[in-house]
Each structure stands twice: as structure tokens, then as C-alpha cells.
Amino acid sequence: MKIIQISASYKPAVVYGGPTMSVSKLSEELVKSGLQVEVLTTLANGKSELSFTAGAITWIEGVAVRFFKRLTKDHSHFSPALLKHLFLAIKKTDEPLVIHIHAWWNLVSVLACLIAQIKKVPVVLSPRGTLSSYSFGNKHHLVKKWMHFLAGKKLLANCCFHVTSEQEKQEILSLVHPKQIKIIPNFISLPELPQQVSTDKTTLLKLLFLSRIEAKKGLEILLEALDKISFPYLLTIAGTGEPEYINSLKKIVHKRSMEAFVSWIGFQEYENKFNVLQAHDLLVLPSYNENFGNVVIESLAVGTAVLISSNVGLAAYVNRNYLGWTFDNQPKMLKEQLIKINSNRQWLDEIRLQSPKQIRQDFADGQLVKQYLELYQAVIATA
């Protein structure tokens, strides 16, 4: 069996956040399992380009990756060279082939899906949150609606879907009825099991937001919830985003005289990210929409409890396993949860002891790769 992974961006383009890293980790684990995997992607790295040789195979963590130039430098990622290579690479062979496409609403994904279906090759699509009602109704919503009406709906109906949560599954089914749909969590790269360390027992509640800084993440809700809160806290904001948007958040902080309680530390590399997570009492993720939420697993893996909006795909998992708290993402609801958590700090200690082992049990690489292999085999069997 051969899997061609199609993604508009790939490691080391970490500027695109969790989805890019999830695709990379998936590809690496499939190679370790013995599958033949090739990744087709672009040189996209935000507004700049990666420096790899276009079209040639670049080996990244054991994975054969071909990077191609793109004509557009925005999120459309139009790459004729990638699409031409895909068209020529799909040949009649006795070896089963699956095209696994990641994300939607970019020209790499949509046109690759069209090529695969013309060539009668089965397609697995992982929307990575791009087919949520939030995504569908926000940026360029009119273009998306026309694209969906003219071609997208028919293409999607002929795909087999991989989603990462029940919440994402229900959103997909409200939009399209695919050939099949399967829930499998993302692969997450985790550090060694952390040593239990004595936590700082000061009265200061150390809060952390660690993610891409964009409107979807709901940081305004968190800032409003913290306004005039009575207990001592420190909020650390770790991540990058569009300077204009970050400046608008800093203006909110200034207007509410919160500068002394908010620290901006920028993007954190893998080596330091888990140290930052472990050094805080609570990760807060007030997203308007999140199909999975890699950072939730990363935080719990080092013992830091989470407070996440009910719109995060992992909300049900967190509630079911008592690993944190959820809230309807309104400032008042978030503020009430923060006050309750601060008054019962022993909950944080209990989660710090419980969650690292729980996460490694539920999201073990070997367990997940078996599920992905079963998905590919089922897709081939029903093609």
C-alpha cells in the first residue's frame, strides 16, 4: 500500500500551527509502520518560502517529501507544479494507492481531490477544522459558498473523511454526506513522562494561552473575563499572529490597565514549549471553534490542567476524564470557572498527578497508527 499525503504546508513550516505538525507526525508514524509514504507540499512558510529544492525528494524524519513552488503567496497556495506531479504520479499499478488530503479551501487540496477522482483513486480527506460552520462562515465566506455549490459538494461527497472528534463529525454531516467517516485523534509528539515536581504554592494563579494568536482563538473573551477579577493572577500569552491583530489585543490590555498581569512571550519552540506548559497552573483555550486542540493534549501530558471552551473538539474527553473544565465561551461563564478553580486549587494538584499517564495511555502512537492503517484498508476495500 502507498499513501500520497497532500498538504499545502509541511514541517518545518511551524507558522501554520498544529495541523502542519499533525500531518508531519502522521507521516512519520506511517513510515515507521512499514507503509510507503510520499508527501507533496509547497514551500509555503507564511509570507516567505522554505529553502528546499523544488520538486526533489527531501528526507525529513525518514519521510520522502517533495516541496513545490507556489504562484500565490496567500492561503490559496496555488501550485501547478505540484498538481502536475500528482497527475503524472498516479499510474495504473497493482499496488493499492490512497490519496490523503489535509485541509480544504486551498487550491492544492481542492484540485488534488479533483485529479484523484478523475484518476479513480480513493481519497481520504482530513478537513483539519476547515469545514466547520465557523470556518465556512468567516473569511472569504462568499467565495467558499460558491466553490462549494459549483464543485466542492460533489467532490466532498466522493471522499472518505477522517475527523478528530465527534464534534467535527457532526459538523461535516451537516454539510455533506461522504462515502464514510471515521474518528481518529491526531498524533501528538510528547516529551518523556515528566518528573513530579513540587508546585509553587503562592497565591498567584498562573494562566497560560499557548496557540496561534488569531480571532478564532477567542483571546478577547479571556481578557474580558479577567477584567476586574479579584484574585491575583498572571496570564502568559505564547504564540504569534498577524501584528495588526496582536496590537489590537495589546490595546485591550492597556485600556483595562492589565499590563502588569499579562506577559507576551511569543512563539515557543518544541524544546521549550513543554517547560512553559509545566510551569503554569492552567491552560486556557477559549476558541470559537477547534476541531481537536493539540495543545490540550500537550498541556495534560505534562500535568497542567486545562480550561477550554465547549467548542473545542476535546471538550468531551476532558469532561469525561476529569482533566479540566469547559465553558460556553462567554466572558461571564469563563470568569465564573476561573473563580471556582482558584478557590479549589487541590483540583489542579490532582490533575497534575493523574493526567500525564492518562494521556500516554489514550494517545499512544502504536494504538493510533493501527487505526489509521485500518482506515486506509477500509477505503481501498470499498473503492
The pairing of beta strand 57-60 with beta strand 63-68: antiparallel
Tens of pLDDT, residue by residue over 67-126, are 999 998 777 889 999 999 999 988 766 789 999 999 988 899 999 999 999 999 999 999
The full length of the chain comes to: 383
Average pLDDT along the chain:
90
Dihedral sign for Cα atoms in the order 247, 251, 252, 258: positive
What CA–CA distance (Å, rounded) separates 178 from 340?
A: 43
124 neighbors 30 (Cβ within 8 angstroms): no
Phi, psi of 245, rounded to the nearest 5 degrees: -70, -40
Percent of the chain with pLDDT over 70: 92
Q: Record the cell numbers describing residue 80, joined without a space.
A: 501547478
What CA–CA distance (Å, rounded) separates 124 from 99?
A: 6
Tens of pLDDT, residue by residue over 212-263, are 999 999 999 999 999 989 999 999 999 999 999 999 999 999 999 999 999 9
Whether the upstream peptide bond of residue 185 has omega within 30° of 0, thus cis, is: no
Predicted confidence (pLDDT) at residue 24 exceeds the cutoff of 90: yes
Those residues whose C-beta lies under 8 Å from the C-beta of residue 382, and which sit 6 or more positions away, are 122, 160, 179, 180
What CA–CA distance (Å, rounded) separates 357 from 217?
A: 28
Res 198: pLDDT? 52
372 neighbors 184 (Cβ within 8 angstroms): yes
Report, as an integer, the average pLDDT of 41-52: 91
Report, as an integer, the average pLDDT of 149-165: 84
Tens of pLDDT, residue by residue over 328-380, are 989 999 999 999 999 999 999 999 999 999 999 999 999 999 999 999 999 99
- Fold adopted by 2-187+364-381: Rossmann fold (3.40.50)
What CA–CA distance (Å, rounded) separates 40 from 316?
A: 34
What CA–CA distance (Å, rounded) separates 101 from 75?
A: 16
Res 139: pLDDT? 62
Q: Record the cell numbers describing residue 276, joined without a space.
A: 512553559
What CA–CA distance (Å, rounded) separates 138 from 120?
A: 33
Report, as an integer, the average pLDDT of 309-317: 95
CATH code for the structural domain at 205-362:
3.40.50.2000
Higher pLDDT, 92 or 208: 208
Phi, psi of 40, rounded to the nearest 5 degrees: -110, 125
Burial class (CB in 10 A: 0-12, 13-18, 19+), 304: buried
Report, as an integer, the average pLDDT of 295-316: 96
Res 382: pLDDT? 84
**What residue ranges do the domains of the chain occupy?**
2-187+364-381, 205-362
Predicted confidence (pLDDT) at residue 201 exceeds the cutoff of 70: no
Predicted confidence (pLDDT) at residue 142 exceeds the cutoff of 70: no
Res 135: pLDDT? 65
Amino acid at 212: R
Res 336: pLDDT? 96
Res 153: pLDDT? 79
2-187+364-381 against 205-362: fold identical: yes
